[in-house]
Structure 1
Amino acid sequence: MKKNIDLGLLVLRISIGLLMLLHGISKLIHGIGFIEGMLEGMGMPGFVAYGVIVGEVIAPLAILIGFKTRIASAIYAFNCFVAILMVHSKDLLSLNEHGGWGVELLGLYLLGAVALVFTGAGKYALSQKSKWD
C-alpha cells in the first residue's frame, strides 16, 4: 500500500478537531460558569474563561477545514495545556487503574495538535499558501 501523508494529516485533523469541538459545543450549550469560578478562585478575572471558546470551538473548526492549521493547532495545544494545569494537574504524574496516564486524553489532544503545528494541514485543506497553513 502506498503511503499518503496528506490523507493521514486529514484523519488527524478530523480526529482532534471533531473530538474537541464536541467539548466546545457542550460549553456553548451548558455555559462556562465552572471555568469562570475556577479562574476567579485562582485570582484571575472570570472573563478569561471565554478563551475556552477560541480553544474548543474556533480553533477546532479551523483545524477541521484546514484554515490556518498551524496557528489554530498552536491555540488548541495551548488550550489543552491550560486545561491540564487548571483541572488535571493532580493527575499529571499518575496512572489510572487500567495503567493509562492520568491525563492521556488531553495528552493525545495536546500532542496531536503539536504535530499539526509542525506539519500543517496537508493538501486536503482550505488554505495552503500562508506560513500558518
Structure 2
Amino acid sequence: MNNINLSLLFSRLGFGLCLLTHGYFLLFRGLGSGFSSSADLAFQILYFSAYFTQLLCPVLIIFGIFTRISSATIFAYFTLKIYIHNPKFWLLSNSGGFVLEVDFLYIILSLALIFGGSGKYALRAD
C-alpha cells in the first residue's frame, strides 16, 4: 500500500497537534520572564513571532490551509530559536539525545510538509 496523501494527513495532524499544545501553554502561561531579557532585534522578532508560530500556524496545518507557508514559518522560527538560544546544538543531554531534540523534530517535520504539501485530504490542497 502506497498512499502518500494519507501519510501527509497523519504528519499534518501529529505535527499540528503537538505544536498546538505548546501554543496553548504559551497562551495561558506566557513566554516566561527570561525570554524577553535581550534587546537584540533577532531575539525580539523571535519573541513576538512565537504566538503566531505556535497558535495560528498549527491550526492552518491541521486543516491543510496554507500548509507550505505555515511550515516555512515554523521552520524559520525554530531555526532562529536554535541559533539564538543554543548555538551549541550538537551537545547531548543526560538522556543521550540532542539538547534541542524536539526543536530538530519540528524542523524536520516542517521541511517534510514544505516539500510534500498538504496532500489530497485537506481543505485547500497545495
TM-score range, shorter chain: 0.7 to 0.9
Structure 1 stretches of 4+ moved >4 Å: none
Deviation at 1:32, TM superposition (A): 2.9
Q: Please tell me the root mean square deviation across aligned C-alpha atoms, in Å.
A: 2.0
Q: Deviations over 1:59-95 (max 9, x none)?
A: 11111110010001000111111221232334x0111
Q: Contact 2:36–2:44 at 8 Å: present in 1 too?
A: no
Q: What SS does structure 2 have at the residue aligned with 1:121? A: coil
1:52 to 50, 53, 56: 50
Deviation at 1:36, TM superposition (A): 5.4
Structure 1 residue 27 corresponds to structure 2 residue 26: yes
2:81 to 70, 80, 83: 83
Deviation at 1:34, TM superposition (A): 3.4
Instruction: Tell me how far apart the structure 2 counterparts of residues 37 and 7 of structure 1 sit (CA, whole Å).
Output: 40
Point out where structure 1 has 5 or more consecutive residues left out of the alignment. Answer: none
- Structure 2 residue identity aligned to 1:88: N
Structure 1 residue 106 corresponds to structure 2 residue 103: yes
Instruction: Tell me how far apart the structure 2 counterparts of residues 98 and 45 of structure 1 sit (CA, whole Å).
Output: 31
- The change in CA–CA distance for 1:122 and 1:50 in structure 2 (over 3 A counts) is same
- What is the number of residues matched between the two proteins? 125
- Structure 2 residue identity aligned to 1:13: R
Identity %: 32
What is the TM-score normalised by the length of structure 2? 0.87
Instruction: Tell me how far apart the structure 2 counterparts of residues 45 and 105 of structure 1 sit (CA, whole Å).
Output: 21
Instruction: Tell me how far apart the structure 2 counterparts of residues 103 and 33 of structure 1 sit (CA, whole Å).
Output: 18
Deviation at 1:43, TM superposition (A): 2.7
Counterpart for residue 69 of structure 2: 71
Q: What SS does structure 2 have at the residue aligned with 1:98? A: coil
Structure 1 residue 116 corresponds to structure 2 residue 123: no
* Highest RCO, 1 vs 2 (Cα 8 Å, sep ≥ 6): 2
Counterpart for residue 5 of structure 1: 4
Q: What SS does structure 1 have at the residue aligned with 2:72? A: helix
